[in-house]
Amino acid sequence: MKKVCFIFLISISIFSCSIDPMERTIFVPDQEDYNLPAYTEWGYNIFGAEYERDYFLVSYRIVPCKISYEDNHIHFALSGNVHYEKEMTLSFTFPFALENNDYTDLMQLHGTKIDLSDSDCVVSIWQNNTEIPLDVLEGELYFKRTQLLSIDDQINRVILSGFFNVRFLQNGFPTNLSNGRFDLGITKNIFYAY
């Protein structure tokens, strides 16, 4: 019995050491709506928004954000769950010129507001491997703050923090994703330029 417990403890310590703590999602509830994460600027790998009378929230088992860059357009995707069970990805594509096609160039987004109703922007929802382009009536994606995080004098990640909301037509009726916020640590592993 002692050998089994000892092996179990070694297995747990090895497993826990292999998970990068910077990749974890930290949910700090909002003071006004505890179902949403509070707005933070610490790289907590979190996002959330009200989706009609439900919530679109980060999941602990899905990478919360992936970004790609192609032909002077940024593709910014947030992946999580609606009603804690249905997987969904909200994708924003907008024109933006990056200098070197590197994830650290995302620092240029600091203070940028994207009008999602602009004809150059595309907003989509992905569910069940199906893309649904949204007929956007109005909306904004606001990168309020960007920061470089360095560990031992080495750049580790770019932290993107901000807000989003989008009002769109779904089956001919207005639908809202509102009160959205994000705080994400972006590394070269989840950024791709081509």
pLDDT digits (tens, 9 = 90+) for 109-164: 999 999 999 999 999 999 999 999 999 999 999 999 999 999 999 999 999 999 99
Residues 29-54 have pLDDT tens digits of: 999 999 999 999 999 999 999 999 99
pLDDT at 75: 98
pTM comes to: 0.88
How sure is the predictor about 18, in pLDDT bands with cuts at 50, 70 and 90?
low
> For residue 153, how many C-alpha atoms fall within 13 Å in the half-sphere facing its CB?
0
Distances (CA, A) of 157 to 70, 109, 111, 137, 163: 20, 14, 18, 34, 20
d(CA 132, CA 107) in angstroms, rounded, equals: 29
| Residue spans per domain, the chain | 25-193
How sure is the predictor about 23, in pLDDT bands with cuts at 50, 70 and 90?
confident
pLDDT at 19: 56
User: Strand 191-193 relative to strand 173-186: parallel, antiparallel, unpaired?
Assistant: unpaired
Distances (CA, A) of 167 to 23, 70, 107, 112, 179: 31, 26, 27, 20, 11
d(CA 57, CA 51) in angstroms, rounded, equals: 9
How sure is the predictor about 14, in pLDDT bands with cuts at 50, 70 and 90?
very low
